[in-house]
Homo-oligomer: A and B are copies of this chain.
């Protein structure tokens, strides 16, 4: 490794985390990409994550099994809750209880074993302000907790949670990633993509993504199940 700093990158396989991986790589980190099989409906995401990790030159890519569906409570893991086709107010039903907290905690464990002090996550306070665990104050509190939780923290080595997309619009994210060479056709954002990765075109995630490409002036090669309305 000859001094290259290692980072753990939470990689969902979506547009945002693919951009985050490209940012971490361009910052010189050896990137250890971490995805979760958490019983999500849109399993095409995991295939996308593997493609993105390979394309972006991640040092390695691991998938951690996490059976959050056992608790239920979210449209993304509970087949009894419908994925909405309208923008919602308040906390969306697609919110998975404590998801980012759990994923960051597991990233923290891996970072500690890797002797990495840098974790990257693609949370965004602009488009997803309804999720409590995407806000800057939440990330700051997690970072403070993490620095008390770990061996590195006790030894005075400050751990940092990087959120390079926090204040960017979807269009800015698409523009930034395109500049860094991200191939967005490898990514899947849709909450209910089919097994081949084709997007529904009507869920919140699809609408935000499409709008992002339009506003960024970047051609959108996303494959849709049906022509978007």
Contact = CB atoms under 8 A, between A and B. Distances in A.
Interface of A: 62, 64-68, 70-73, 91, 95-102, 104-106, 108-110, 112-113, 132-133, 135, 137-138, 141-142, 144-146, 148-151, 153-154
Given A91-B154, A146-B101, A149-B133, A68 B109 contact: yes
Contacts of A65: 65, 67
Contact of A151 (B91, B104, B110, B144): B91
Contacts of A91: 151, 154
Nearest to A99: B109
A108 B112 CA distance: 22
Report copies per complex: 2
Given A68-B109, A135-B148, 11 more contacts: A73-B109, A97-B109, A98-B109, A98-B149, A101-B105, A101-B109, A132-B149, A133-B149, A138-B149, A141-B145, A144-B145
User: Which of A68, A101, A112, A138 neighbours the largest number of chain B CB atoms within 10 Å of its CB?
Assistant: A101
A71 B113 contact: yes
Residue from A104, A109, A113, A142 whose CB has the most chain B CB atoms within 10 Å: A109
